[in-house]
Amino acid sequence: MKSKNSGMKIAVILTIIILGALTTLVVINSETKNTGSEVKIPSIEGQPILGEANAPVTVVEFGDFKCPSCKEWGETIFPRLVSEYVDTGKVKFSYINVLFHGEESQLGSIAAESVLKNSPEAYWDFHKGLFKEQPSKNHDALWINQKKILEVASGVPGIDVDKLKTDIEQKSELGAVNKDTELVEEFNIQQTPTIIINGIMLEDPFDYEKIKTHIEQELDGNQ
């Protein structure tokens, strides 16, 4: 009888241990699913960069000027990211063009690449200016055209509008745009915006608390 009781106790203990281990695995898998997946850090060579070049954390957005969610992200999440982490030297931010909306996406991207090449100090103002022109309703309406681009550019100091017009007409920066498309394919980008933080592709780009958590973890790892 004594031996039988001991066996039952051992069985109970083992059951508790196994259940605990399974619970831990479920929690770990749940956290991974909810926060993001590991990928390599995209190359940002030749891409627009906001912040200090030697900042310890790199945040990359794959975005499309025609994408309503990208406009929303840029107006709600991006300013907080810049204020808390970019302006403080902890994060450098980069943007990679995605062409999910066809010719308009390509046209906006060619224009942005032209500004980046010829007037890099004006890039982010142009970037924000073009997104600002995206209609809040009827997102599928044709609105990215040469006239609208030049209108935005004329309101940004430092942009050579004539040079931009020539680049648009000749598609001079199509090569740079194609380079971005190669990155989109390499990282299997399925939605915009897609946000990658030091090699972590986020499940939900609008969860700013998760963004902060990943950044803080990366900052702790670099200390």
pLDDT tens across 2-53, in order? 444 555 555 445 544 544 444 443 333 334 334 678 998 999 999 999 999 9
Three-state SS string over 142-199 comes to CCCCHHHHHHHHHCCCCCCHHHHHHHHHHCCCHHHHHHHHHHHHHCCCCCCCEEEECC
Is 179 found in the same domain as 144?
yes
Over its length of 223 residues, how does the chain's per-residue pLDDT go in tens digits?
444 455 555 544 554 454 444 444 333 333 433 467 899 899 999 999 999 999 999 999 999 999 999 999 999 999 999 999 999 999 999 999 999 999 999 999 999 999 999 999 999 999 999 999 999 888 788 999 999 999 999 999 999 999 999 999 999 999 999 999 999 999 999 999 999 999 999 999 999 999 999 999 999 986 5
Is 97 found in the same domain as 20?
no
Is 119 found in the same domain as 108?
yes
Is 104 found in the same domain as 20?
no
Is 206 found in the same domain as 162?
yes
Is 139 found in the same domain as 30?
no
Is 190 found in the same domain as 123?
yes
pTM: 0.83
Is 127 found in the same domain as 213?
yes
How far out from the chain centre does Cα 141 lie? 25
Residue labelled with tokens 């309101």:
155
pLDDT at residue 221 in the model: 84
Domain total of the chain: 2
Phi first, then psi: what are they for 37, rounded to 5°? Answer: -125, 155
Give the range of the structural domain holding residue 10, as residue numbers without chain letter. Answer: 2-37
Is 197 found in the same domain as 91?
yes
Is 94 found in the same domain as 24?
no
CA 138 vs CA 132, 142, 147, 149: distances in Å:
15, 9, 19, 19
CATH number of the structural domain spanning residue 164: 3.40.30.10
Q: Which residues pair with 76 in a beta bridge?
A: none
Is 178 found in the same domain as 76?
yes
Tokens representing 165?
């017009």
Sheet containing 49-50: order of strands:
36-38, 200-202, 194-197, 57-63, 91-97, 49-50
Is 26 found in the same domain as 46?
no
Q: What is the mean pLDDT of the chain?
A: 88
